[in-house]
A and B are shown apart, each in its own frame.
Chain A
């Protein structure tokens, strides 16, 4: 069953968002048709992808690799295009 959506009286005035950082709850990951795939043999952990990702959808994992946050990654492919080592390629998203 669908959740009941809020009525007009239940929204804050003028749709003000009073919880900072609430955009992190927005699943923008389901927009993508391509997803980045990293080749660990080529990646030298330079972090360039982490710098240029427009959605801050790369996180550093325990081994120092830049892991893609697929919940937020929109699959724009900028990381793959800009990677100096050619360590990222875009593959079709599995839906």
Chain B
């Protein structure tokens, strides 16, 4: 039986990692990730969690240590943010290329310069193509649940890939929420011990990460991509098992009042909470507005997206990241790419909001919906617009 309690979301993630019986935690502190690893370090020091906490000199080393640990068959966890994630960059590709099921929480934060410790999605979007399974949480409960599910998804022998759980810096990581912390017994039932597909073992020597000549590399990348695409089925399976055991339901795309909506707001992360309130207020005024939230970002849920937006007239795609000199927000671009070849597709208006911790208010969503309606009638002027930017 789970216990309902009030808890900081970072602490809830640490609790989830403990309940998942992580064996190796290698991390370097960076705001706003610190509370997660501080709490884990305390748990290990106090003997609450039987694990090795490896204090490293950088995030590059943190991910390297996780790669080594996962390669010998240890359940490995790390957490980071922004520049820390960027410093891990090359090791992220090694982790996915070697098919090592590491779990990482990224507490999303803006990339410097100028230095910003506050939330947006520019850190993870730079790692979009690194071959990791990528999930976005909206609430503390979801962050707790996804962290436990991440180990099960990553370690499934059909998948064997690393997983990143994204949570918004401060607006999710540092808030206290009521949530259900599941019991050790129940989590053990859900998450079996880690049985690696690839394992370094002195009794059965193998070589991992050897040179891949041009005649081999393409085939190995195809193999890796198929594994990532097909992990979709396993993710759905894991969510089904989770619902059966714990009662909470998860889908690649979450919807709110979207059934008969003419305009859909698309967003990822904790801002969906504000968007939901805006949708309710607009609905009271008789506006047919709904919300879709991307939880599963990689593998991209093409089918779910196409089905969800099929009847809408327009989508207001809100990104907390700017692709400089490009077509706008990365999520908006992919939404467009997913729908472009369809005979009937909704009009898509792109918006950039909430950069570097700028709050996205209910009123901002009113503006976004108004703008979308206007652009739908008058036609697109620019590729995208930035919300709340001062002239």
Contacts and interface: CB of A to CB of B under 8 A. Distances in A.
Bound together: yes
Interface of A: 5-9, 11, 13-18, 20, 22
Interface string B207-247: 11010100110111011101000000000000000000000
B326 interface: no
A69 B30 CA distance: 53
B216 A11 contact: yes
Given A5-B215, A16-B198, A11 B206 contact: no
B210 A6 contact: no
B205 interface: yes
Given A5-B215, A16-B198, A11 B207 contact: no
A14 B216 contact: no
Contacts of A5: 215
Contacts of A11: 216, 219-220, 223
- The A interface is mostly helix, strand or loop, or mixed, namely loop
B206 A13 contact: no
Contacts of A15: 210, 212, 216, 220
Contact of B224 (A7, A14, A18): A14
**Most chain A beta-carbon contacts within 10 A, residue among B204, B205, B218:** B205
B10 interface: no
Given A13-B197, A17-B206, 20 more contacts: A7-B219, A8-B218, A8-B220, A8-B222, A9-B223, A11-B219, A13-B223, A14-B97, A14-B98, A14-B99, A14-B220, A14-B224, A15-B210, A15-B212, A16-B198, A16-B207, A16-B208, A17-B208, A17-B210, A20-B206
B127 to A, nearest CB: 19
Q: 8 closest Cβ contacts across the A-B interface?
A: A8-B219, A17-B207, A8-B222, A14-B99, A20-B205, A15-B220, A18-B206, A8-B223
A17 B160 CA distance: 17
Given A5-B215, A18-B206, A13 B198 contact: yes
Contacts, number: 45
A5 B223 CA distance: 15
A52 to B, nearest CB: 24
Among B215, B220, B226, the most chain A Cβ lie within 10 Å of the Cβ of B220
Contacts of B216: 11, 15
A81 B120 CA distance: 59
Interface in B41-100: 97-99
Contacts of A20: 205-207
Contacts of A17: 206-208, 210
Contact of B208 (A6, A8, A14, A22): A14
B197 to A, nearest CB: 6
Given A5-B215, A8-B223, A14 B198 contact: yes
Nearest to B226: A8
Contacts of A7: 219
Nearest to A17: B207
B211 to A, nearest CB: 9
Nearest to A11: B219
Which residue among A11, A13, A17, A18 has the maximum number of chain B CB atoms within 10 Å of its CB?
A13
5 contacts: A9-B223, A11-B219, A17-B206, A17-B207, A22-B207
A70 to B, nearest CB: 22
Contacts of A8: 218-220, 222-223, 226
A22 B197 CA distance: 21
A15 to B, nearest CB: 5
Given A18-B206, A20-B205, A13 B219 contact: no
A7 B215 CA distance: 11
A6 B219 contact: yes
Contacts of B205: 20
A9 B230 CA distance: 14
Contacts of B206: 16-18, 20
A19 B378 CA distance: 65
A11 B212 CA distance: 12
A7 B226 CA distance: 13
